[in-house]
Each structure stands twice: as structure tokens, then as C-alpha cells.
Chain A
Amino acid sequence: MIETGSIEKIAYDITELRSRFPILGREVNGYPLVYLDNAATTQKPSSVIDSLSAYYKGYNSNIHRGVHTLANEATEAFEKTRKSASEFINAGEKEVVITKGTTEGINLIARTWGEANIKEGDRILVGAAEHHSNIVPWQILAEKVGAAVEPIPLSQEGILDREAFKSMLDESVRLVAINFISNSLGTINPINDLISDAHHNGSIVLVDAAQAAPHIEIDVKAIDCDFLAFSGHKMFGPTGVGFLYGKYDLLDQMPPFIGGGEMIDQVSFNGTSFLTPPLKFEAGTPNIADVIAMDQAFGFVSDIGFDAINKAEKEIVDYSRSRMSKIQGLKEYGTAEEKIAVFSFNLEGIHPFDVGQLLDAKGIAVRTGHHCTMPMMSDLGIEGTVRASFAVYNSMEETEKLWDNVERIQKKYGSS
């Protein structure tokens, strides 16, 4: 809840906000849980959890076809989430396809727009720090049609190198697939500039916004991307729900993805016609309950507002960087000024797995390993990092606890 009028002093009432997340009250190994694996998935507020149960208890029904009251109620609630998603990213409602998650959204584009438009000899440029889900679908497509997938290099600070990117652009580049925010580094790419460069070159741009959605405001019209995908579960919603934005004209020209019910206009053995977007891409009964509950997650984020979220996050970033700079042998990856509260680091002489295990023993949950970005780890010459990723419910007290423990681990087990 925003403390209206006092936003300059405190971004929001963290105690009240935490109380909305039942899981945050639990203990792990005798310590209060400090959950810092939010880039993998976030926890869910009661409003989301209750919405799931309210659906099954009150109006469970299949959607879009029924004439009865339950079907109407369920359809209305399902479509309400689409409306919220479209408002969340400033898109038209018909431009938002409901998917299982970011991965499915990217695969959908690769299989439909990609197969129809990428030809032999074409190049697909992807960021060097992409999640595997924004690399592998393009490799599968490239293999099928005889195209090439090439990495856009990162700067020392861990953002995409704009000059290097520009030098790679030519008429063979049909598609550029890049993240808004790196999942393993937390760095924010200069997305407006990169999209504008790509468009000048006549290339289509897909943005992986999985990490951006819970942290910064996304305006698809302002950044002018062609496609954008994000997931519900990384922004306080249920798993198995995601959203794919596409400019309407592009979606309209694309062939369907999966065939089946819900996406057809007329079916006969002489030929079948399809519905218009977005339903053209939504064959089969969707994950109705989770999609409906996702609306509560949009409400949760909108109520707090990105101004407050960014303000609180900046405090965590500034404090953490100051603590990290004082820990001997700590190397931070992704040092760009523009970043969210995701910290990827290693301690000299200690394997990241060991750091993760020692933190877990104190109830602190972090991720260790390659974070689904193996090519980037290989570029950095490391096997992995420790990644502490924050969400809006993480307090300054928890931040202190993390760095106190990292410091203790470094002193006891570090090589310096």
C-alpha cells in the first residue's frame, strides 16, 4: 500500500505488504525465510491464492463458448485479465495473446512468424546474455530454414554493446531477439536505442520482458517493439500463465500456432478458417483458473506503482553495491548503472554452490549456477555465479542479513 503523500520518505509500508504473502512468514532451518530467488519465481499474495480457490469453488466453467451463467462469469473474468495485461504494457486488447509463459510466447513467434518469414541465409541476432528460452527456439528455427543465429556482444558492464550491435546490422538481419533486463545480471538494456537501430535496418524486434515485468514500467508503444513476452509467475502471479504482445498487423498476418478448438471460425473437411488474433493463437482450453488469478497480480503491482517500486529498489541497489565493494574477493557481474536489484557475484576461492548452501543453512534462498545463460557464463570464463534477486517485498533488514552472511562466509571460507 502506498503511503499517499509520504512517498518521498517511505516508498510503501513493507510490513503491511509482506503480511499479504503468507509464505514469507515461514522459517527455513530455524531461521526466518529470506527469499532472494525472485528472478526464478516470485511468491504469491493471498489475493492471488484466494482467487484460484474462489474460481474453483464459485464459477469453474469452460470459457468463450458456453451460454450458461458460469461460462459467462468465467469468460468475463478470463478476459478481464487480458484487459489488465494490455493496460499493464499499454497495448491493445487484441494484441495480447495469453500463453503458458515467456518461453511459449517466444516459441510461438519462432514457429509462426519465424517459419513464415525467416529464409535461408537470413540472420537472427540474439543478445549474448539471453536466457536459453530466447536462444534455443531461434536455433531450432535456424536449423530448419538454413538461417544463422549470432550473439550480440555485451559491454564490460553487462549491457548489450550498441556500437557492436549496429556494426552487425545489414539486410540479412530479419529478427533481433533481446531481453529488456538480463535474468542473470539484472542489467537494463538500452532497449529504445536498440529497437530504433533495428527498425532503421528493417529488422523485426522481439523483447523478452520476463525480468522487466515486476521491476520497471513497460510501454510497448513507447519502446515500439514488434513482439514482447513475459510471464505471470515472475510478477507475483501463478505459474503457467504468460502474455505475448504482437503488433496487430503482424499477428494478423501470422499463420496459427497450435490447431484445435477455441481458435477456429469454421471447420469443415473442405477447409477450415481461423478466428482473428488473439484467439487464433489460443487453441484448446487454457489455464483458466491461473489466468483469472493473474488479474490479482496485476492489481497488486499497479496498486504499489512503479515509482514506489523503483524508489525502494534503488535503495537496495545502492546499499548492496556499497556492501559488495567492501567484501574482499567479491566480484560482481553486471556493473551497469542501470540495473534492478539482482546481484550476480562470486567470492574468490569459494564455489558458488558452497555459498548457496551456506546461505540456505541460514534460511536465505539464492540461486547458484549458470541461471540458464550458459553461453554468457562461458564468455565470462566461469561456471556460474551466486545470484540474489530481490522483489518488492524484500526488506532492507533482509538485504543487510544477506550481505552480513556473505561477508561472514567470505571471511571463513574465502581464499583472501
Chain B
Amino acid sequence: MEAVEQIDRIQQEIAEDFSLFEGNKEQSVEYIMDLGMELDPLSEDFKRDEFLIRGCQSKVWLIASKNEGGELIFQSDSNTALTKGLISLLIRVYSGHKPEDIIGSEPWFLEKIGMDQLVGSQRSNGLKAMISRIQEYARSFQNEN
């Protein structure tokens, strides 16, 4: 399977997971928070300003590294469970893919889920900042080649 198609497939899976809640905000928010609580915490060493994402109301740290296969691995943490849940969705979509595939993929699942309505405009802006940071990492790793 083409890498971009694989990213689309993961997005489709997430959209299907959320479709079970039929737009119910309470269930969706609790599900996102549960995902957040399942995400492995980041070592305190990485909770530095250089990994902090500006534009988020809560604190979010995101780091990226490249494995032997040339794929980017993202790790993240946040001081709030909901934000951790949101970033865990992005990690599920983008982690383990090559920089060029990440750059070529829009996170369309967010609109399909109706994330703006679920988490409100302030969190939504934070989510945009997280996506920008993922794309920045992908571009800078691509330029290294």
C-alpha cells in the first residue's frame, strides 16, 4: 500500500471510531481524554521550551526522531488530558511515516469528526499549531537528506 494511502486509511479508521458516538459531545470528549491518558508520558528531559508548541492554551511538547527506515517517530506530552488525546490522534496518523508522505497528507479526519465543535475554538487553534509543528518537523527532516 502507498504510504499516503496508509495515512488516509488510519484517518478513515479514526473517523469510523468517532462515528460510533454520532456527534455526542460527552462521549467524544471522554474518548479523547481516555486516549490521552493511554499515551506514554514524555521524559521530563524533553519538557523544554524548544519542544513546546506555541499557540496552545495548555502546554504541549512534541519531539520527532527518524528511525533506521527513514520514518519519523513522534512523541508528545501535555499537562492536560484532552490535549494529550488530541495529539495522540495526530501521532496515530503521522508517526511511522516518511517526511515526504507526511508533507503530502492533510489531516482531513478532523473536519470529518467535527473536531472544532467538539473541543471549541481555542483548543482547535492549538490543534492547528500541533499540525504545523508536525509539518515543520517533516520539512526539516526532509531537508536533511
Chain A interface: which of B26-34, B38-46, B93-101, B129-137?
B26-34
Residues of B near A383 (CB, < 8 A) are 79
Q: How large is the interface on A (under 10, 10 to 19, 20 to 34, 35 or more residues)?
A: 10 to 19
Known: A357-B119, A358-B33. A350 touches B81 (CB 8 A): yes
Known: A351-B58, A353-B58, A413-B37. A358 touches B80 (CB 8 A): no
Question: In the bound complex, do residue B79 and residue A351 qualify as a contact, i.e. CB atoms below 8 Å apart?
Answer: yes
Inter-chain CA distance A138–B83, complex, in Å, is 37
Interface set of B (CB-CB < 8 Å, partner A)? 24-26, 29-30, 33, 37, 57-58, 79-83, 119-120
Inter-chain CA distance A333–B58, complex, in Å, is 21
Distance (whole angstroms) from the CB of B21 to the closest CB of chain A: 11
Q: Please, which residue of chain A has its CB at the minimum distance from the CB of B78?
A: A351
Among the listed A30, A350, A361, which residue makes an inter-chain contact with B30, where contact means beta carbons less than 8 Å apart? A361
Residues of A near B80 (CB, < 8 A) are 351, 353-354
Residues of B near A357 (CB, < 8 A) are 29, 33, 82, 119-120
Inter-chain CA distance A354–B22, complex, in Å, is 22
What are 20 A-B pairs with beta-carbon distances under 8 A? A29-B25, A29-B26, A30-B24, A30-B25, A30-B26, A350-B81, A353-B57, A353-B58, A353-B82, A353-B83, A354-B82, A357-B33, A357-B82, A357-B120, A358-B29, A360-B25, A361-B25, A361-B26, A361-B29, A362-B26
Q: Please, which residue of chain A has its CB at the minimum distance from the CB of B26?
A: A361
Residues of A near B30 (CB, < 8 A) are 358, 361
Inter-chain CA distance A352–B26, complex, in Å, is 17
9 additional A-B pairs beyond A350-B81, A353-B58, A357-B119, beta carbons within 8 Å, are: A29-B25, A29-B26, A351-B79, A351-B81, A353-B57, A354-B82, A357-B29, A357-B33, A413-B37
Query: Chain B CB within 10 Å — which of A29, A350, A351, A357 has the most?
Result: A357
Query: Chain B CB within 10 Å — which of A30, A361, A362 has the most?
Result: A361
Would you give the 0/1 interface string for A350-378, flagging 1 where the beta carbon is closer than 8 Å to chain B?
Answer: 11011001101110000000000000000
Inter-chain CA distance A351–B120, complex, in Å, is 17
Q: Please, which residue of chain A has its CB at the minimum distance from the CB of B58?
A: A353
Residues of A near B26 (CB, < 8 A) are 29-30, 361-362
Residues of A near B29 (CB, < 8 A) are 357-358, 361
Residues of A near B58 (CB, < 8 A) are 351, 353
Known: A361-B30, A413-B33, A413-B37. A354 touches B81 (CB 8 A): yes
Inter-chain CA distance A358–B33, complex, in Å, is 9
Residues of B near A362 (CB, < 8 A) are 26
Question: In the bound complex, do residue A354 and residue B33 qualify as a contact, i.e. CB atoms below 8 Å apart?
Answer: yes
Q: Please, which residue of chain A has its CB at the minimum distance from the CB of B117?
A: A29
Inter-chain CA distance A362–B27, complex, in Å, is 10
Residues of B near A353 (CB, < 8 A) are 57-58, 80, 82-83
Inter-chain CA distance A353–B32, complex, in Å, is 14
Q: Please, which residue of chain B has its CB at the minimum distance from the CB of A358?
A: B29
Residues of A near B120 (CB, < 8 A) are 357
Inter-chain CA distance A29–B25, complex, in Å, is 6
Would you give the 0/1 interface string for A383-416, flagging 1 where the beta carbon is closer than 8 Å to chain B?
Answer: 1000000000000000000000000000001000
Q: Please, which residue of chain B has its CB at the minimum distance from the CB of A412?
A: B30
Inter-chain CA distance A313–B120, complex, in Å, is 31
Distance (whole angstroms) from the CB of A293 to the closest CB of chain B: 29
Inter-chain CA distance A295–B24, complex, in Å, is 41
Residues of A near B83 (CB, < 8 A) are 353
Query: Chain A CB within 10 Å — which of B25, B37, B57, B119 has the most?
Result: B25
Residues of B near A360 (CB, < 8 A) are 25
Among the listed A29, A30, A361, A413, which residue makes an inter-chain contact with B81, where contact means beta carbons less than 8 Å apart? A413
Query: Chain A CB within 10 Å — which of B24, B80, B120 has the most?
Result: B80
Inter-chain CA distance A211–B137, complex, in Å, is 47
- The B-contacting residues of A in range 321-367, CB under 8 angstroms, are 350-351, 353-354, 357-358, 360-362
Distance (whole angstroms) from the CB of B20 to the closest CB of chain A: 16
Inter-chain CA distance A361–B79, complex, in Å, is 20
Inter-chain CA distance A353–B29, complex, in Å, is 12
Inter-chain CA distance A362–B37, complex, in Å, is 20
Residues of B near A350 (CB, < 8 A) are 81
Would you give the 0/1 interface string for A27-49, flagging 1 where the beta carbon is closer than 8 Å to chain B?
Answer: 00110000000000000000000
The 9 lowest CB-CB distance pairs between A and B, nearest first, are A361-B26, A351-B80, A29-B25, A361-B29, A353-B80, A354-B81, A361-B25, A354-B80, A354-B82
Distance (whole angstroms) from the CB of B43 to the closest CB of chain A: 19
Distance (whole angstroms) from the CB of A327 to the closest CB of chain B: 18
Q: Please, which residue of chain A has its CB at the minimum distance from the CB of B81?
A: A354
Inter-chain CA distance A253–B24, complex, in Å, is 60
Inter-chain CA distance A29–B27, complex, in Å, is 11
Inter-chain CA distance A361–B30, complex, in Å, is 9
Distance (whole angstroms) from the CB of A411 to the closest CB of chain B: 13
Inter-chain CA distance A351–B81, complex, in Å, is 7
